[in-house]
Structure 1
Amino acid sequence: MNKFIKLKEVCLRITDGAHYSPIGIKDGYPMLSVKDMREDKFNYDECKFISVDDYNDLVRNDCKPLLNDVLIAKDGSYLKHVFVIKEETEQAILSSIGILRPDLNLINPTFLKYYLQTKSVKNTVAKKYVSGSALPRIILKNFGEIDIIYPKLLIQNKIAQTLSYLDDKIELNNQINDNLERMAKTLYDYWFVQFDFPDENGNPYKSNGGKMIWNEVLRREIPEGWGFQTIEELGTITGGSTPSKANKENFSKNDIPWITPKDLSQNIGNKFIARGEFDVTEKGFKEASLNILPANSVLMSSRAPIGYLAINRFDCTTNQGFKSIVCNKEYPFEYVFYVLKQNMLSIEANASGSTFKEISTSVLKTIKILKPQKRLVNQFKNSASVIFQQQNNLEQQNQQLTQLRDWLLPMLMNGQVKVE
Structure 2
Amino acid sequence: MATWQTYKLGELIDVQNGFAFKSGDLQNTGTPVIKIKNIQPPNISLKEADYYPHELILKMEQFIVEKKDILISMTGSHVSQIASAVGKVGRYGFDKPALLNQRVGKLYSKDLNQLDNDFLYYLISRPEIQFELATNAGGSANQANISPQNIKDLEVEVPDLPAQKKIAEILSALDDKIELNRRMNQTLEQMAQTLFMQYFVDGIDADNLPEGWRVGSIGDLFTLQRGFDLPSTIRAGGNVPIFSASGLNGFHNEVMVKGPGITTGRSGIIGNVYYVDEDFWPLNTSLFIKEFKASTPLHSFYVLKHTDLKGLNTGSAVPTLNRNDVHSLEAIIPDRKTVLDFEEKVKLLFNKIRQNEKENQSLINLRDTLLPKLMSGEIDVMQTQTAGQYEEVLS
Same structural fold, with TM-score higher than 0.5 when normalized by the shorter chain: yes
- Runs of at least 5 residues in structure 1 that lack an aligned partner in the other structure: 196-205, 207-211, 215-220, 265-274, 283-290
C-alpha contact 2:294 2:333 (8 A) present in aligned 1:
no
Cα 1:35–1:341 change in 2 (3 A) is same
Partner of 1:218: none
| 1:258 matched to 2:242 | yes
C-alpha contact 1:411 1:417 (8 A) present in aligned 2:
yes
C-alpha contact 1:298 1:325 (8 A) present in aligned 2:
yes
| 1:227 matched to 2:214 | yes
Percent identical residues: 24
User: Aligned ranges for residues 11-410 of structure 1 at < 5 Å?
Assistant: 11-18=13-20, 20-52=22-54, 55-56=56-57, 59=60, 62-66=62-66, 69-76=69-76, 77-78=84-85, 82-85=89-92, 89-103=96-110, 104-129=112-137, 131-195=139-203, 212=205, 214=207, 222-223=209-210, 225-241=212-228, 243-245=230-232, 248=233, 250-254=234-238, 256-262=240-246, 264=247, 276=249, 278-280=250-252, 292-328=256-292, 330-343=294-307, 345=308, 347-410=309-372
Cα 1:166–1:232 change in 2 (3 A) is same
SS of equivalent residue, structure 1 residue 168: helix
Q: For the residues of structure 2 that align with 1:261 and 1:73, how far apart are their CA atoms? A: 28
Q: For the residues of structure 2 that align with 1:401 and 1:86, how far apart are their CA atoms? A: 19
SS of equivalent residue, structure 1 residue 299: strand
**TM-score w.r.t. length of structure 2:** 0.83
Q: For the residues of structure 2 that align with 1:6 and 1:223, how far apart are their CA atoms? A: 71
Cα 1:227–1:279 change in 2 (3 A) is same
C-alpha contact 1:213 1:224 (8 A) present in aligned 2:
no
Q: Which amino acid aligns with 1:48?
A: D
C-alpha contact 1:13 1:102 (8 A) present in aligned 2:
no
Q: Which amino acid aligns with 1:63?
A: F
Q: Which amino acid aligns with 1:376?
A: T
For the aligned residue pairs, the C-alpha RMSD in angstroms reads 2.9
Partner of 2:80: none
For residue 123 of structure 1, report the CA deviation from its aligned partner: 2.1
Total equivalences in the alignment: 372
Q: Which amino acid aligns with 1:72?
A: I
For residue 409 of structure 1, report the CA deviation from its aligned partner: 0.8
Q: For the residues of structure 2 that align with 1:96 and 1:224, how far apart are their CA atoms? A: 60
For residue 241 of structure 1, report the CA deviation from its aligned partner: 5.0
For residue 410 of structure 1, report the CA deviation from its aligned partner: 0.7
Cα 1:367–1:15 change in 2 (3 A) is same
Partner of 2:7: 5
Q: For the residues of structure 2 that align with 1:149 and 1:22, how far apart are their CA atoms? A: 44
For residue 390 of structure 1, report the CA deviation from its aligned partner: 0.8
1:6-43 C-alpha deviation (Å, 9 max, x unpaired): 22221133423435434333432222323334445443
Partner of 2:387: none
Q: For the residues of structure 1 that align with 2:206 and 2:22, how far apart are their CA atoms? A: 54
SS of equivalent residue, structure 1 residue 164: helix
SS of equivalent residue, structure 1 residue 3: strand
Q: Which amino acid aligns with 2:190?
A: R
Q: Which amino acid aligns with 1:364?
A: V
C-alpha contact 1:2 1:150 (8 A) present in aligned 2:
yes
Q: For the residues of structure 1 that align with 2:222 and 2:74, how far apart are their CA atoms? A: 43
Q: For the residues of structure 2 that align with 1:181 and 1:170, how far apart are their CA atoms? A: 17
C-alpha contact 1:304 1:358 (8 A) present in aligned 2:
yes
- Runs of at least 5 residues in structure 2 that lack an aligned partner in the other structure: 77-83, 383-395
Q: Which amino acid aligns with 2:217?
A: T
SS of equivalent residue, structure 1 residue 306: coil
SS of equivalent residue, structure 1 residue 385: helix
Partner of 1:201: none
Partner of 2:385: none
Cα 1:358–1:32 change in 2 (3 A) is farther
**TM-score w.r.t. length of structure 1:** 0.78
